[in-house]
Structure 1
Amino acid sequence: MRATPSLCATAALGLLLTGCTGPAVVNTEQPTSRAPAPAAAPTPTTRPSNAHLANAFEYATPVDGTTGYAFTTPSGRWQCVIVPRTQASCGKAGGSGSALGITGAPDEVPGPDGETVAPTAILVDRSGDPQFAALPASSVTDPPELPFNRILAVAGFRCNVQEATGISCLSELSGRGFTFSADGYTTAYTDVPADAP
């Protein structure tokens, strides 16, 4: 005797076959609309060189109750101080309170009491733009000389002295910095060339 499939089994088989079949997919080779391509990432700036690093330990000094880093330029005219993770500033060596003597620098800046005074330093902090400021007298005395073409990189800042361009400092966080000499200044960091002596 021949077995006949039950009605339930036949219905289940029909549903199964129906679920596996459907309309055919037709590819017409026409482009589909897509989201616009993301904008190209900005070109990264050149990373500062580490080819001529000075030993930061040699420049450590007490600054306002904390360890800071300071140096004098080979000419003895300028002194720079790095306050860790706060700012890098430069002014006349031993001459806090005296005008900077940088061509093109402003004659006056806001003083600590709101009155306008002559700037005593150029500085860059962690995230702001370089600026001229009237800083209080530095507690740093007789810091060591940073030789030409050496880079003092410490606590989020780097500074160097080059015979051709002057003194330059950079906030490594923001990428902002300055370069100056008695003849003028720019609001850009000037790195020591990798092939410098």
Structure 2
Amino acid sequence: MPVITRLCAVAALLLSVAACTGPTVVTTDDTVAPPPAAAPPPETTRPSNAHLANAFAYALPGPESAGGATVYAFTTPSGRWQCQITPRTQVSCGKAGGTATAIGITGAPDDVTDPDGGTTTPTAILVDRTADPQFAALPASEVADPPVLPFNRILAVAGFRCNVQEASGVSCLSELSGKGFTFSADGFTTAYTDVPADAP
């Protein structure tokens, strides 16, 4: 008889375990929402390095007012615009020829604040390492006759990059902040326009 008692005890134990492992029964009208899906990571596109220019070809002695430190400067193929990268500080663009005349970009503001707190006509568009692109009144460039940056070539140096494209104009970017600008005489945007990888 002890064998039958043991068998009955084992059977009872198995039945009770099986009964406890069945599906969960919900007896309310409450529903549990599934956890929210994780948001996809933000889409970031790194600027292209497919068409880099040799930065050494654009290195020039900087202005005497800045102690002559090296700057990187170029003129556009049209000869209309000139840009200057001051290493780890800013990139600025204005009319070529070393004159501090009105910038002449459709949609640019008529006035900007000058260093004395007054207003004056903007002579350049610039972006520094962290701030948004802006129009500013800069003195005439002391860099004379910088070399031409050909269409679809990228000058990337000291935390900034610039290019010139026939379709969009001049475009420059702070590599630290990702902020930049694109402009031509016909208008401007506060975004960098990269050179397409398949550009000639």
Bin of the TM-score, shorter chain as denominator length: 0.7 to 0.9
The answer to whether residue 91 in structure 2 is matched with residue 88 in structure 1 is: yes
The answer to whether residue 131 in structure 2 is matched with residue 132 in structure 1 is: no
Q: Is the 8 A contact 2:164 2:170 kept in 1?
A: yes
Gaps of 5+ in 2: 1-16, 25-31
Gaps of 5+ in 1: 1-23
In the TM superposition, residue 60 of structure 1 has moved relative to its aligned partner by 0.5
> Equivalents in 2 of 1:129, 1:50: separation in Å?
23
> Equivalents in 2 of 1:83, 1:29: separation in Å?
69
> Equivalents in 1 of 2:164, 2:94: separation in Å?
13
Q: Write the deviation string for residues 46-85 of structure 1: whole angstroms up to 9, x where unpaired.
A: 1111110000000001222211100000011100000111
Going from structure 1 to structure 2, the CA distance change for 1:40 and 1:143 (only over 3 Å counts) comes to same
> Equivalents in 1 of 2:130, 2:96: separation in Å?
26
Hey, what does 2:193 align to over in structure 1? Answer: 190
Amino acid at match of 2:74: F
Amino acid at match of 2:103: L
User: Which of 133, 142, 145 is 1:142 aligned to?
Assistant: 145
Q: How does 1:52-67 map to 2 (within 5 A)?
A: 52-63=51-62, 64-65=66-67, 66-67=69-70
Amino acid at match of 2:89: T
* TM-score, normalised by the number of residues in structure 1: 0.80
The answer to whether residue 175 in structure 2 is matched with residue 169 in structure 1 is: no
Going from structure 1 to structure 2, the CA distance change for 1:41 and 1:115 (only over 3 Å counts) comes to same
**Percent of aligned pairs with the same amino acid:** 76
Hey, what does 1:160 align to over in structure 2? Answer: 163
In the TM superposition, residue 40 of structure 1 has moved relative to its aligned partner by 2.4
* TM-score, normalised by the number of residues in structure 2: 0.79
Q: How many positions carry a matched residue from both structures?
A: 173
> Equivalents in 2 of 1:52, 1:143: separation in Å?
20
Q: CA RMSD in A?
A: 2.3
* SS of alignment partner, residue 57 of structure 2: helix
